A and B are shown apart, each in its own frame.
Chain A
Amino acid sequence: MSETRPVKIKVRGLSKVFGSQPKKALELRDQGLKRSAILDKTSQTLGLSNIGFDVYEGELLVIMGLSGSGKSTLIRCLNRLIEPSEGEIVIDGENIPELSDKSLLECRRRHFSMVFQNFALFPHRTVQQNAEYGLEIRNVDKDERRQAARNALKQVGLEGWEDAYPNQLSGGMQQRVGLARALANDSSVLLMDEAFSALDPLIRKDMQQELLELQHRMKKTTVFITHDLDEALSIGDRIILLKDGEIVQIGTPEEILTAPADEYVERFIEGVDMSRILTARSAMRPVRATAREDDGPRTVLRKMSENGLDSIYVTNRERRLLGLVEGEVADRAVKDGQQGIASLIHQDFPCVSPDEPLHNLFAMFSGKSFPIAVVDYDKRLLGVVVKGAVLAQLAESGEH
């Protein structure tokens, strides 16, 4: 379903060879040789090999891999801080590797803003002047760029620090300046190169949260590099797993956790706290039977007994969830000769969105254990989660 979203950057057949004879190395690669064999034979390092993926408009795509996996090379190929050896990178119809120097400059200014691992702030410029840099080199009018920089600094919570110098700020604040410098530019893509890796764990969590909020607010297309799986899982809409310069798996955090592509990914995801990452959607089952609002008590009771249920969810024609009817109540209504079920419906049941993390679901199973209803934003019933399913899901992913 996500594949129908508009594509912002299309990457196809992207490779990068470090060394003087890239052609030779790529030929060997095409003959099926691996990175280490190519290095032995030609002393050329195959940094990236035949990378292909799409970045969708407005998504936060995480490229994750250990050091040496080629992730830094990959993000730098996107804006040609590193020249790719072959392949295409298309953004808004322009193929970046083919651009002339002048068009490349223009393309970098319009499309890409980058946030760096070690902040890379200009130490001789104030916070304000740092944030203005991208606009300044585009010769944007002084007042305009001042305003844009101020807005960006406000977005990252640095109001009042405009006149400070970077070395007067803590690491976390410095990276906020880095982020503001990128945001002020208002480019269409945000490239974040291990942006939070140099920060303390606590500050890092904060920054991740803030990035998510920012991203939610601004819907900025973001490519985020990290070596930290937890970080990838908690902020990524989708994750690309990179190993030895090749893509191992592309998928949502859940897909990667529940269906790892190979042993490498499996080993990787060992030790991840599954209940934090998995959501109600993954443990959700289709509803076996629902009652309609115009059903009589007798029909409802029959549906329950046919499906072995103690209670049943009631929906209207659009599958909007109206409430829950319990078996005993329906039974009593039949004996009393009641006609409709409208008076039997109650709202005292747990109800969550599909994105609710599983660990929040445990508490809801206390008391009368109704299945948890999973509804979308329109209150349409998508499925239910029963207690056993949560545990089963956790056990299953824990096995890997």
Chain B
Amino acid sequence: MAIEFPRIPLGQWIEGGLNWLTSEYSMVTRGISRFTQTGINGLNEGLMWLPEWALMAVIAMLCWRMAGMRLAIGAVAGLALIWNLGLWNPMIESLTLVVIATLVAVVIALPVGIAAALSERLYRTIMPVLDFMQTMPAFVYLIPAIPFFGIGSVSAIFATVIFSMPPAIRFTTLGIRQVPKELIEAADAFGSTRRQKLLKVQLPLSLPTIMAGINQTIMLALSMVVIAAMIGADGLGNEVWRAIQRLRPGDGFEAGIAVVILAMLLDRLTQSFRKERKQS
């Protein structure tokens, strides 16, 4: 006879916890929500206030300075195509979400990554958490985001930050741990304090690796921002989402190509930043 083993109500527990969090901290979440929304709106308006050609010129200059003429030309061509397809404003909205989510992610990830590099115990606690954050299907984060921050872009940023933060933490930790032992020893031998060691040796030497992590974070953020259209985030994802609902593959691909252009641009730009750092 089979023994009846009760199903563990894991989902109920989590929901209970989330409900509790939502009701207890509604003040906090509402505050965060309002603050973030203001940031999003401000950045959006600022970027849209600029005429399209002006923003293109700024981006082209940046590409030229950081990575050379080829990227600058590619950037102008890509952005011109987006403009021509009428996807300029959704593109700006996506860019804003990526920029803000990345900023938040990096601001959290850097200190956490540094701490994990310096403390073996923290390292061991944090790594499984990061695994969890990265392997949990991205959509799942969208669900609790809604009760916290409501439908819209703030929820999108919340989910994006969680999803895109792990590489920045991992690479920061890795970069600091990779600093050759001899250099740490040399810094110690001359009587460096921990702070001096970190600021003068460990961080400068791990900067290329940290930049690689930030690059990864940006890429993940972009992919998540598109998915976040499902919970009402604006931007290119929204265009794709609409195309799916209306079964218009042409529109979908247009928006998709715009995402690809934006991704390549962001990727090359941040990679060039990393290379430049390495040379100096």
Chain A positions within 8 Å of B, measured between CB atoms, are 79, 81, 105-109, 112-114, 116, 118, 120-124, 133-134, 136-138, 181, 185, 191
Contacts and interface: CB of A to CB of B under 8 A. Distances in A.
Nearest to B195: A137
Contact of B186 (A106, A116, A124, A136): A116
Interface string B182-215: 1101111111110010001100110000000000
B190 A185 contact: yes
Contact of A81 (B185, B192, B201, B205): B185
Interface of B: 180, 182-183, 185-193, 196, 200-201, 204-205, 280
Contacts of A114: 186, 189-190
A120 B191 contact: no
Contact of A120 (B185, B196, B205): B185
Contact of B191 (A122, A137, A181, A191): A137
Given A81-B189, A113-B190, 8 more contacts: A114-B186, A120-B182, A122-B183, A122-B205, A133-B190, A133-B200, A134-B190, A181-B190
26 contacts: A79-B189, A81-B185, A105-B193, A106-B191, A108-B189, A108-B190, A108-B191, A109-B191, A113-B189, A114-B186, A114-B189, A116-B182, A116-B186, A120-B180, A120-B183, A120-B185, A120-B186, A121-B186, A122-B183, A122-B200, A122-B201, A124-B280, A133-B187, A134-B190, A137-B200, A138-B191
Given A105-B191, A137-B191, A137-B192, A124 B185 contact: no
A118 B185 CA distance: 12
A171 to B, nearest CB: 15
A118 B183 CA distance: 10
Contacts of A122: 183, 186, 200-201, 205
Contacts of A118: 182
B148 to A, nearest CB: 42
Nearest to B193: A105
Contacts of B180: 120
A259 B191 CA distance: 40
A181 B188 CA distance: 14
A137 B192 CA distance: 6
A88 B239 CA distance: 74
Contacts of B188: 81, 108
B196 A137 contact: yes
Contacts of B201: 122
A186 to B, nearest CB: 12
Contacts of A79: 189
Contacts of A137: 190-193, 196, 200
Nearest to A182: B190
A68 to B, nearest CB: 19
B258 to A, nearest CB: 39
A70 to B, nearest CB: 17
A124 B190 contact: no
A112 B183 contact: no
Q: Closest 10 CB pairs between A and B?
A: A109-B191, A108-B191, A120-B186, A114-B189, A120-B182, A134-B190, A124-B204, A105-B191, A137-B196, A137-B192
B222 to A, nearest CB: 30
Contacts of A133: 187, 190, 200
Contacts of B189: 79, 81, 108, 112-114, 191
Contacts of B204: 124
Contacts of B185: 81, 116, 120
Contacts of B187: 133
B196 to A, nearest CB: 5
Contact of A109 (B182, B190, B280): B190
A99 to B, nearest CB: 12
Contacts of A81: 185, 188-189
Residue of B185, B189, B192 with highest tally of chain A CB at under 10 A: B189
Nearest to B197: A137
A57 to B, nearest CB: 21
Nearest to A102: B193
Contacts of A105: 191, 193
A112 B188 CA distance: 11
Contacts of B205: 122-124
A108 B191 CA distance: 5
A109 B223 CA distance: 50
A199 B51 CA distance: 61
Contacts of A191: 189
Nearest to A138: B191
A82 to B, nearest CB: 10
A136 B201 CA distance: 13
A130 B266 CA distance: 35
Contacts of A136: 200
A390 B120 CA distance: 63
A109 B201 CA distance: 17
Contacts of A185: 190
Nearest to B203: A124
A150 to B, nearest CB: 18
A308 to B, nearest CB: 61
A134 B201 CA distance: 13
A81 B189 CA distance: 7
A107 B187 CA distance: 14
A140 to B, nearest CB: 12
A302 B52 CA distance: 116
A116 B189 CA distance: 10
